[in-house]
Chains A and B, each alone.
Chain A
C-alpha cells in the first residue's frame, strides 16, 4: 500500500471519524474539520503535475483478489490527474461553501459529510483506477453516495423520488457497464485498462467488441445524463445545493465523460463509437439546451444546462475519434476536438460550480428559486450578481471568459467534421455543426435568463418568503474563487494548456504520441475571420433577439403535450412494471395448495414426457419377465377395487378402510415376492396407520362432518392420469434396459462369512448399510418428538379456548 492508495482511501477513513467529531465537538461546524482533507489531497496531487507533464505515469499496485487478477492498481496519468484535481479542488470549495450553507443547529451534519466524503473517495477511486473491477466498485460507490446525498432531506417526498430515480437509472447503467467490462476482460484476458489499450488493434475484430462497447457506453451515458437517460438529473436537484454543485455539475456526471475518454484508445477505431458518442452527445446538447429555456426553477435550468454541456463534451470526444484514424500527430487537425473536450471539461466545472453556488445563495437569501418570483436583486446582492454574470456569460460563450474559447474550439471541431471522409459522414455530417449552432443559441438564451430574470427587473418583495440581502462573506468565497478562475482561464488559457490539457489529451490518444512528442496545444484568442467567429456572432445576435421576444415564442413549448415526455415514459414504465409483475404474480400464486400441486405435476409430466419422446427412450422387452400367477391377479384386482372404492366413496370411513385394504394387499404382495421382513413391517404399520386415520376422522369438526362424494374435476383427472402413464412408461423402459448386473451377489456371498448373519435384509440394514438405519431411527424420533410437541405445546392466542380437548 503506497501513499497514493492512502490518498484514495483517506476520504473513507475521514468519513469514519466524522460522526465522532460531530458528537464530540458540537460547538464547531463539522465542515471545518472536513475541509482540511480535500485541501491536503489537492496539494498532494499537484506534486504529480511535473511527472504527468512529460506524458509519464505513476503506477502503484496492491493485491486485492490476486487469484482472480483483481488488483487495486492506482494509475496517475494526465487524464487521471486532471480529474483528481477537479474532484479535490472543487471538493474543498464545496465543503467551504456548505459550512455556511448548512445550519449547524438544524441539519444532521454528520450524515452530510459522511456521504460527501464517501463520494469524494469513490470518485477519486474511479478516476485513478487502472483495474476495471476496482473501477466498477468505486463507480457503484459514487451511485450509492449520490443516492444518499440526493435524499439528504429524506422527509421530503420529492427528494426520495429523485434519489430513487437516479439510483435506478445509474445502477442500470452501472450493471451494463460491468457486463461490458467483463466482455472486455474476456476479449483481452486482463482487467488492466493499460494492457487492454496495448492490444486495442486485435480487440477491434473480436465478435464481442460491439457488445462490449454498447454496454460500456450505457454506463457512461446513464452516469453522464445523456439522452435519453438525462431524466434523473433534473430530479436530483432536490439535493442540497452544495451537492448539486459538486456531484451534478462538476464531478459525478463527468465520470461518464471520464470513462469515454479513458476507453477511447480501445474503442475509438470503430465507426459505431463515433456515431454513438458523437451523435448522442450532439443531440443531448441540443435537447438539453432547448428544454432548459422552458424551466422556471433556477436549479432546473442549471440541470438541463448541465445535460446540454455534457452532451457538448461527449460530442467532442466522439469527434476526436476521427483523429485516431491517422498515424501521426502531424497535420492531424482532429485532435483539436479532443483538446476542446478537455478544455471545456475544466471550464464547465468552474463556471457551473459557481453558478450553482450563486443559485444556492439566491435561494438561501430570498427563500425561492422560481424565476417568476425573483427579480431586481441587482442592487441588493451586487457581489452575487457579478459572479452570476461571469459564470453565465462564460456558459453562453462570450469573451473574455473561458467559455468563449472552448465554444470557439467546439465550433472548430464540429466544422472540421465536414472534411472527414470516413464513417459515411458525407450524408449526415452537416447535422453536427447545425445542431451545435442551434444548441448554442438556446444556451445563450437560458444563460441570459439566469442573470437577467434573477437580478434585473422589478423587485417583488411580497412574493419572496424572506427579505433579500447580500450573502455572508464566507458563502461568497467559493463562488468568487471559481469566478476568478473563469476569468483567469479566459485571459490566460495557456496556463492550463501545457500543465493539464496536453497530458490529458495525450492519455486519450496514446497511439498517436511518439516518444518524447507532445500534443501541440496552443489556445489563441484570435483566429482571424474564420467561420467559427461568424457562428459566434450569429449565436449572440439570434440569441439576443430570441431572448427579447421570449414571451412571444415560448408558446412553442406548449405544443408538446405534457404526457409525451421521457419522464412520463419512465413513470409509466415503472408503474406498469410494478403493476404488471403484481398482476402476473397474483395470477399464478393463488394461495391454493392444489394449484401449486397442479403446476408441479404438470411440469413432472411435461419434462419427463418430453424427454422420453425426444430421446425415443421407450423400450419394451419381454425376455426377463417373471410369469404371472393366479394370486397376483387376485391381489391386483383387490387393489384396483380398493382404489375405485377410495375414489368414489361417499364416506371417508370407507376410504380409510379401503386404504387399509390396499396396505394389506401390498403386504401380501411382499409375501408372494419373497420379502418376509417387508411383509411383517407392512402389516404392523398399516394397522397403526389405519388406527391413526380413524383417530383423525373421529375428530373431524362437526360442521363439515356431513359426508360427500369427491367432486369430479376433469383437469385433476387428466393430471393424475398423466402422472400414472408417465410413471408406467418410465418403469417399463427402465426394466427393459438393464445396463449391468446387480451388486447383490456380494451380499449373498458375504452375509454369513463376513457379518455372521443369515437374514440378508437384516444384515444389510444393521451391518452393511447401518448408517441408513441410524438416521431412519432419527426420523422416527423426530416425528415422535414433533407429535408430542404439537399436542403438548400450545402457545395460545389470547382469549382462545386452549383447554378444549384436555
Chain B
C-alpha cells in the first residue's frame, strides 16, 4: 500500500511541476494545489498506514495509527489553504490591473504561442 501511495504522491508532484511550468497563472495555482495534496499524502504515507484504529481513545483499540503525522498534516492543510487563498486573490487582482493571466505578457513581452 505504501509503495502505491508513494507512486500516487509522485504522480501528483509530477503533474504539479508540469502545471507550474506553464504560462497561465491559473494553471500555476492549480499546480500548487496539487503539490500540497501530494505532500500531505506523502507525510501520511511515511507515518505508516492502517496499523491500528483511528487516534481516538474512545475506540479502546490495542493499537492506534500514529497521531503525529495527522497533526502535522492538519497544520499544513490550513497553511497551504491560507497561502492558496492569498495567491488566488493576488491572481484576481493581477487580472484586474494587468488585463492578462499570461506569465510572458506579465514580463512585458508578447506571448509567442
Please report A residues at the B interface, Cβ cutoff 8 Å: 591-594, 597-598, 601, 622, 624-629, 632, 636, 639-640, 643, 646-647, 652, 655-656, 659, 662-663, 666, 669-670, 672-678, 681-682, 685, 688-689, 692-693, 695-697, 699-701, 703-704, 710-711, 713, 716-717, 719-721, 723-725, 727-728, 731-732, 734-735, 742-744, 747-748, 751-752, 757-761, 764-765, 769, 772-773, 776, 779-780, 782-784, 786-787, 790-791, 804-805
Contact = CB atoms under 8 A, between A and B. Distances in A.
Given A758-B58, A759-B55, A773-B75, A655 B27 contact: yes
Interface string B31-72: 001100110111011111111111111100000111110110
B13 A636 contact: no
A795 to B, nearest CB: 11
A689 B113 contact: no
Interface of B: 1-4, 6-24, 26-27, 29-30, 33-34, 37-38, 40-42, 44-58, 64-68, 70-71, 73-75, 77-79, 81-86, 88-93, 95-96, 99-104, 107-108, 113
B83 to A, nearest CB: 7
A545 to B, nearest CB: 71
Contact of B34 (A662, A700, A776, A782): A662
Nearest to A751: B57
A685 B81 contact: yes
B96 A662 contact: no
17 contacts: A632-B1, A639-B12, A643-B12, A652-B26, A663-B37, A674-B54, A678-B73, A696-B91, A700-B101, A710-B27, A720-B17, A728-B9, A747-B67, A780-B81, A782-B82, A783-B85, A791-B89
Nearest to A726: B10
Nearest to A593: B103
A783 B14 CA distance: 27
B82 A752 contact: no
Consensus secondary structure, chain A interface: helix
Contacts of B85: 688-689, 692, 783, 787
B45 to A, nearest CB: 7
B29 A693 contact: yes
A748 to B, nearest CB: 6
Contact of B107 (A592, A721, A764, A783): A592
Contacts of A727: 6, 9-10, 13, 38, 42
A689 B33 contact: yes
Contact of A724 (B13, B37, B40, B86): B13
- Which of B21, B49, B88, B95 is the most central at the interface, judged by chain A CB atoms within 10 Å of its CB? B21
Contacts of A735: 2, 6, 45-46
A673 B81 contact: no
- Which of B1, B55, B79 is the most central at the interface, judged by chain A CB atoms within 10 Å of its CB? B55
Contacts of A676: 54, 56
A728 B64 CA distance: 26
A323 to B, nearest CB: 69
Consensus secondary structure, chain B interface: helix
A800 B12 CA distance: 41
Contacts of A784: 82
A666 B86 CA distance: 22
B77 A682 contact: yes
A623 to B, nearest CB: 11
Contacts of B45: 731, 735
A482 B20 CA distance: 76
B27 A652 contact: yes
Given A636-B8, A731-B6, A744-B66, A723 B89 contact: no
A94 B7 CA distance: 81
- Which of A701, A721, A752, A782 is the most central at the interface, judged by chain B CB atoms within 10 Å of its CB? A701
Given A647-B18, A692-B88, A765-B71, 9 more contacts: A592-B104, A640-B8, A689-B81, A696-B26, A701-B99, A728-B9, A731-B6, A758-B56, A776-B78
Contacts of A752: 57
Contact of A681 (B13, B49, B58, B74): B74
Contact of B82 (A625, A747, A783): A783
B78 to A, nearest CB: 5
Instruction: Rank and list the top 5 A-B pairs by shortest CB-CB distance, nearest first.
Output: A724-B14, A728-B10, A783-B82, A720-B17, A760-B67
Contacts of B55: 674-675, 748, 759-761
A627 B81 CA distance: 32
Contacts of B6: 727-728, 731-732, 735
Contact of B4 (A628, A674, A764): A628
B91 A748 contact: no
Given A593-B103, A628-B1, A655-B27, A743 B68 contact: yes
B15 A675 contact: no
Nearest to B26: A652
Contacts of A779: 78-79, 82-83
Contacts of A760: 55-57, 64, 67
A678 B1 contact: no
Contact of A673 (B15, B27, B44, B86): B44
A721 B14 CA distance: 5
A666 to B, nearest CB: 5
Given A662-B12, A696-B92, A592 B103 contact: yes
A567 B39 CA distance: 59
A748 B64 contact: yes
Contacts of A591: 107-108
A747 B68 contact: yes
Contact of B26 (A678, A700, A711, A744): A700
Contacts of B70: 675, 677-678, 761
B82 A764 contact: no
Contact of A627 (B1, B26, B74): B1
Contacts of B47: 742
A643 B11 contact: yes
B87 to A, nearest CB: 9
A629 B14 CA distance: 25
A529 B96 CA distance: 97
Contact of B41 (A669, A693, A764): A669
A700 B33 CA distance: 19
A382 to B, nearest CB: 71
Given A593-B103, A783-B82, A761 B8 contact: no
